[in-house]
Structure formats: structure tokens, C-alpha cells
Amino acid sequence: MNILSKKILIKLNEKTVFTIIVLAVVIVTCVCTISFSIFKYIDSHLQSAEQPDQIHAVDISYETEFPFESEVKKTAISSPDPSLAESNVSFIDSITDSINTYSTKFKDTIIEFSSEENIAAHPYYYLYGAVNRFLGRNVIENSESNVYRLEDEKLVYATPWQSAKSTYGYISDFSDWLKERNTEFLYVMPVSIDDDSVIDFPPRLKTGYTETSKELLEFFGEHDIKYLDAKPMLLSKNADFYNWVYKTDHHWNVEAGITVADKIVEIMSNDFGFNVDKSVCDIVNYKSVTYEDALLGSLGRKVTLGYTDAEDLEILYPTFETDFHIEIPELSLDKTGTFDETLIDSECLNLDYYGIDNAYCSFLYSDRAMIRITNEKCKNGIRALVLKHSKANVVNPYLACAVEQLDIIDPRHFKGSIRSFVEQTNPDLVIICSNGPNSDSDTSWTLK
């Protein structure tokens, strides 16, 4: 056998061995997945039989309770005849719809049991992160946002920000509409780990956040819109930016949350003239409880534990007496109790690192379409509405200590009319707490 033949045979042998290994891994994974699926199916039915009072998300028709004015008129004028619509559906269309439905369910099942439900998933995740770290890769590509590792081991998103001028107009119109109703308005700009004025990104990864956020705040100034820029306020108290954000997550932390809530209360008192107790958001009136290694945040989960470590999660609990009533319709949740019993979901502190939610979701049950909180210990008559994205989740529990009624809406999930909600509830103050610059394509901020 000549040298060339030997080389070809060696290559074939290598490919054969590699193929066998891959097939073996696939077979083992499939067997583990199917077995685990069967056990999980049985276990879930046993648990549902033993725990009939578990909280489950339900669909709420907020657009019916809080309708859009234009849609109400349109429905009244030209509501289609359901029987006519049904007669126009062909046999082929119905078959196609059925196939699409079942194929979607099959796809969702595959995705579900190839991720956190797969007992082989964690080793895969770890291996993925470990390989990237071994190769010295500082940028981890992801289907959503790439994660970048700085020289000091900190993780950040390297996401480009774009101008959001259409969103500016929505906010301005909404602010003017509230002024006509004698309702105060405040925009809160959170800190962001995309901020290239604070974080030393390489030139090719400049995000543009500084320029776009400056543009938004200048717009607010020109249109007499009251705003709180959290970054300079927080950095004036501690110049270390990373004192205010998580190591593995894109959100700011609980210390930032309560500090911002305290500043909002100050603005409510000094600028808007509300009779509010400033001490209830003072951090000295709270005790800190640390949950070790509880959080592997949005960035950490993308690079995995093979690349970084989980971090501690701190929660601040009031040392003064509290009594709240919280309602979350989509969870069928209606509960009365202390701060820790109602505003903190302790079950989220023990979640799977790679599950849908993480420990940050312990603050006010994650992102819900609508939450109503009544502070039974506060009788100042103030009703506030917060329109928010997830960064407000660490602000709202502490702000709830300062007002008698706090309503919270996440426009990404609330499908009703925000203006209709305002008309029905008559809040004294409306707050938007969300990163503004990158909201140009976010239709949830039309504020209709």
C-alpha cells in the first residue's frame, strides 16, 4: 500500500470515528430527552393533582376592558358577519391551517425539550462556554445580541443603538395629553450596559448609545418634559458604574432601583408638590439579604457557566411595618401581606440557571402586562401609574412603599389602550421608566 493510500485510509478512519461519536451523542441525547419527557409529563400531572392552587398564567382581554377609541368606532360600524367569514374558508385552507398548527406545536416541543428540559442540556451549555473561554474569545455571537467580555472579565452587550425620533413624538403627545388632564408626568432614563460613555468598547464595537440618549434628553428639554437621567445621579453617589449593575445581567441592581425610587419620591415632593413620606425609600430603612449564586443573568446564560460564574442577588427588605394588596390578573394572583410576601416572588430565587426566567424575576413576578398594588399602610391618596420595561422591576417595589396606589403596565404585553386606562383610573402621576433611544421599532410605545 503506497503512502497516498495510507493517508486516505487514515482520513477515512478519522471521519468514521468522528461520525460514530456524533451519532452516539445524538442517540444518547434523544433517549435522555424522551425518557425525561415521559417522567416530566407524569410528574407534572401528579403535581397539578396535589397542588390545585398553583399560579398559572391566563390570557386577559385588556383591549376589551380598556378599548382603543378608533377600534371601538370601527367595530360598531363595520363588524363582519362571522357566518360569512366561515363560509369563505375552503377545505384546503382548513387542512393547511391544521398542518401549520401541528407543525408549530411539534417545533415548540422540540425547542422546549432540547433546552432546559433536556437533562443533557447543562453539560452541553457548559462545554460551549468552556470552549469559547479556552479559545480566548471575547465576543460571543448570539441570535439576539452579542456578548462582549471586557479586559476585567465583565460582560456587556455590544448592541448598536439607533435614533428613535418617532418614539419621541409619541411621548411628547402623551405628555401634552396628560397636562390637559392635570396629571403629572416623569420620564426616567435608566443606566445601560451599552453606554459607550462609561464602558471602554473597542472602536469597532461603539454602540452609539451616548449620542442617541443625549438626543432624546435634549428633545425632552425642548418640549418641557420632566425627566430623571439616572446615570449622573447614581454616579454622583458612587463613581464606579459597576456598583449599579449586575455582572452577568443587563439590568441595573436593587441598590440602583431603590436609589432611583428615592429620587422619584424627592421629585414628587419638591417638584410636583405631593405630600409623600420621603423616608420610606431611604435605604437606611431597609435590611439587605444576599442570596448566594442565585443569579445567572441574561448575559451569563448566553455565554454559560463554562465561561463565567453565577453571582449573588441582593434584595432589600423594609425594616418598617408593611401591608400590601397586590393583583396580577394574568396570574390570577390576588394576595395581601407584607412586602416580602406580596412584592417578592421567592420561588424565582431557586430557578434553573437556563430556564425561561431567572432570579431577577423575583422582583414583582417578572414582566406582567398589568399589576395593581395597594399600600394599606399609606393613606396619602396618591395614585401613580408606571409604564415600564424590565429595568423598572427593581424600582417599583420600593416606589410602592411611598404611594397609596401603584398601577404598573408593561406596554410590550398590555394590549389595551393606555389612555383608556388613564381615563378610567385617574392617576395623579404617570412615570415612564424605560431605555428610550432604541425604541424606534417598538410599537408598544405609541402610548395610545
Which of the four pLDDT bands, split at 50, 70 and 90, describes residue 47? Answer: very low
Kindly tell me if the per-residue pLDDT of 107 is higher than 50.
Answer: no
At 30 the pLDDT is: 59
12: Cβ–Cβ under 8 A, 6 or more apart, which residues? Answer: none
| Candidate from 33-37, 132-136, 342-346 with smallest mean pLDDT | 33-37
Q: What average pLDDT does this structure show over 88-101? A: 55
Count other Cβ atoms within 10 Å, centred on residue 350: 10
Per the CB < 8 A criterion, the answer to whether 330 and 60 are in contact is: yes
Q: What average pLDDT does this structure show over 295-319? A: 94
pTM over 0.95: no
The Cα 446–Cα 448 span in angstroms is 6
At 205 the pLDDT is: 73
Which of the four pLDDT bands, split at 50, 70 and 90, describes residue 334? Answer: very high
At 432 the pLDDT is: 96
Q: What average pLDDT does this structure show over 51-71? A: 71
Q: For residue 113, give the nearest of 53, 186, 38 by alpha carbon.
A: 38
> Helix or strand or coil: residue 384?
strand
Per the CB < 8 A criterion, the answer to whether 241 and 193 are in contact is: no
The Cα 187–Cα 209 span in angstroms is 17
The Cα 334–Cα 340 span in angstroms is 15
Which of the four pLDDT bands, split at 50, 70 and 90, describes residue 131? Answer: confident
pLDDT tens track for 181-190: 999 999 999 9
Per the CB < 8 A criterion, the answer to whether 345 and 336 are in contact is: no
Cell digits for 172? 411628547
At 81 the pLDDT is: 42
391: which DSSP letter?
Answer: G
Which of the four pLDDT bands, split at 50, 70 and 90, describes residue 26? Answer: low
321: Cβ–Cβ under 8 A, 6 or more apart, which residues? Answer: 377
At 302 the pLDDT is: 86
At 437 the pLDDT is: 62
Q: Hey, what long-range contacts does 344-351 have (CB within 8 A, 24 or more apart)?
A: 344/315, 344/317, 344/397, 349/291, 349/294, 349/313, 350/294
Question: Above pLDDT 70, what percent of the chain?
Answer: 73
88's enclosing H/E stretch is: none
**Pairing, β 383-388 against β 405-409:** parallel
The Cα 319–Cα 280 span in angstroms is 10
> Helix or strand or coil: residue 245?
strand
pLDDT tens track for 376-424: 999 999 999 999 999 999 999 999 999 999 999 999 999 999 999 999 9
8: which DSSP letter?
Answer: H
pLDDT tens track for 215-270: 999 999 999 999 999 999 999 999 999 999 999 999 999 999 999 999 999 999 99
The Cα 284–Cα 42 span in angstroms is 48
Q: For residue 367, give the nearest of 412, 332, 327, 406 by alpha carbon.
A: 412
Which of the four pLDDT bands, split at 50, 70 and 90, describes residue 40? Answer: very low
Burial of 116 (0-12, 13-18, 19+ CB in 10 A): middle
* Amino acid occupying residue 277: D
Kindly tell me if the per-residue pLDDT of 88 is higher than 70.
Answer: no
More confident residue, 29 or 215: 215
pLDDT tens track for 137-167: 887 776 567 788 887 788 888 777 877 777 8
Cell digits for 57? 398564567
At 49 the pLDDT is: 43
At 23 the pLDDT is: 62
More confident residue, 406 or 117: 406
> Helix or strand or coil: residue 385?
strand
Mean pLDDT (the chain, rounded): 81
Kindly tell me if the per-residue pLDDT of 75 is higher than 50.
Answer: no
Of these ranges, 7-11, 204-208, 336-340, the one predicted with the greatest mean pLDDT is: 336-340
Q: For residue 295, give the nearest of 280, 307, 305 by alpha carbon.
A: 305
Q: 76: number of CA atoms within 13 Å, CB side?
A: 7
The Cα 14–Cα 19 span in angstroms is 9
Alpha-carbon dihedral angle through residues 81, 83, 88, 91, given to the nearest 10 degrees: 150
The Cα 309–Cα 105 span in angstroms is 34
Kindly tell me if the per-residue pLDDT of 3 is higher than 90.
Answer: no
